[in-house]
Amino acid sequence: MKMSKQFPLNALRVFESAARQLSFTKAGQELGLTQTAVSYQIKLLEDTLKEQLFLRRPRQISLTEAGERLAPRITEAFAIMDDAVASLSNAAEGTLIIHSTATFASRWLARHLGTFQLKNPGIAVRLETSQEMIDFSRTPADVAIRSGKDEWPGLRRHFLMRNHFTPMLSPELAATIGGVKTPEDILKLRIIDPGDPWWPFWFAAAGLPDVDLTGRPVSRYGAQAFEASAAIASQGVAILQPEFYADDVALGRLIQPFDILGYDGSDYWLAYPEARRNSKKIRAFRDFLLKTMPAPE
């Protein structure tokens, strides 16, 4: 079929999102449309093509045979168009914008970005940090590194590392109570951010599921890296991702008194829009990152 200028391109975009997620509701959330508007665009496309693309059932949709044939080609077509538009600007194509949590950026990513640029001299890097998952449709970014449970529709995700945690503190603080020998000893010391949801998971793993930290002085630093700095300064016990602080342990600035690790089901992921998966700079960074990350346990 030959496209004309009147061909419903917006309807194709809606179809691509709905076909990828098998949900009109999720397509609307991704594109900023109501479910009614999504349904209208799909019906418009079906009328134009004179083909039914979805089987509609209560609370569920599925692709028809025609829809299954069309979906991968439309997804590929939009990916090609997105890359073509991005490629119009050499500066945009030559700069990789990375959004990361502050802790991952400072404790792991920063020490490896130089190696990435040596291997990819044509790609400049801009690193931004924030704690929230960005909206790629509103924030200039190519990739994001986030801690979570792989619940980001419309994004391609790659597992980076398990996000487990354990108490860590300075040797000097441990010495004030004659050493930290049992999990109960942690309760004798000031705890940095007792409201951190990681603490109940860790105490449960340590065999103390009934520990209650309410009533302790509240201190929130906004990022794990800042809590680690406070722990190094003997201001309290922080609950940290131990892989990020191996250097501090080796230098005697922190100790990890127990091998017990807590885990809340969240991990570190590399994420980027599905439609941008063919971008050369994104592929280069993805391949480098996955080869550089330690093998999962």
Asked if 272 and 155 sit in the same domain, the reply is yes
Say if 32 falls within a structural domain. yes
Asked if 235 and 182 sit in the same domain, the reply is yes
Neighbouring CB atoms inside 10 A of 273's CB total: 20
Q: Quick: pLDDT tens for 20-44.
A: 999 998 888 888 888 889 999 999 9
Asked if 99 and 135 sit in the same domain, the reply is yes
Say if 1 falls within a structural domain. no
Asked if 105 and 81 sit in the same domain, the reply is no
Adjacent-strand bridge partners of 191:
237
Q: Quick: pLDDT tens for 254-267.
A: 999 999 999 999 99
Burial level of 284, CB count in 10 A (0-12/13-18/19+)? Answer: middle
Say if 3 falls within a structural domain. no
Say if 244 falls within a structural domain. yes
Asked if 152 and 127 sit in the same domain, the reply is yes
Asked if 169 and 48 sit in the same domain, the reply is no
Burial level of 16, CB count in 10 A (0-12/13-18/19+)? Answer: buried
Say if 211 falls within a structural domain. yes
pTM of the entire predicted model: 0.67
Asked if 170 and 253 sit in the same domain, the reply is yes
Range of the domain at 118: 92-161+266-292
261 three-state secondary structure: coil
Asked if 62 and 102 sit in the same domain, the reply is no
Asked if 42 and 97 sit in the same domain, the reply is no
Say if 297 falls within a structural domain. no
From CA 45, how far away is CA 73, in angstroms rounded?
Answer: 15
Q: Which regions of the chain are under pLDDT 50?
A: 1-5, 90-91
Q: Quick: pLDDT tens for 224-283.
A: 989 999 999 999 999 999 999 999 999 999 999 999 999 999 999 999 988 888 889 999
Asked if 187 and 200 sit in the same domain, the reply is yes
Asked if 173 and 54 sit in the same domain, the reply is no
Give the chain's domain count: 3
Which H helix or E strand runs over 112?
Answer: helix 110-119
Say if 4 falls within a structural domain. no
Contact between 153 and 272 under an 8 Å Cβ cutoff? The reply is: no
What is the residue whose two structure tokens read 């280069």?
A: 284
